[in-house]
Amino acid sequence: MQGTISKWGNSLAIRLPRWATEEALLKEGSLVEIDVTNGVITLSQTRVRYSLAELLEGEAPQAYDWGAPMGEEAW
């Protein structure tokens, strides 16, 4: 399949057909890694990686009740 490069502001863009984005599990807002090797452009889906601190940001510390000791645990 062929596509056409179009102007988009100061950049260039290409439309991806629906079947290709569905097969690649891409949707609007998906992050992709762009790689150019020997004149070949490759797009790869990337996932956002969060640190533990980012995941827990804004969460209040919580205590958990793990139940009564079941063996020789020292509490």
By three-state DSSP, how is residue 62 classified?
coil
Tell me the percentage of the chain whose pLDDT exceeds 90.
Answer: 51
* Cβ–Cβ under 8 Å, residues 41 and 27: no
Residue 18 Cα distances to 22, 62, 73, angstroms: 6, 45, 57
Q: How far apart are CA 17 and CA 3, in angstroms?
A: 9
Q: How far apart are CA 14 and CA 30, in angstroms?
A: 15
Q: Is residue 1 part of a domain?
A: no
Q: Is residue 54 part of a domain?
A: no
What is the rounded end-to-end Cα distance, in angstroms, of the chain?
66
Total number of domains constituting the chain:
1
What was the pLDDT predicted at 68? 81
What was the pLDDT predicted at 65? 82
The answer to which of 28-32, 33-37, 60-64 has the lowest mean pLDDT is: 60-64
Q: Is residue 11 part of a domain?
A: no
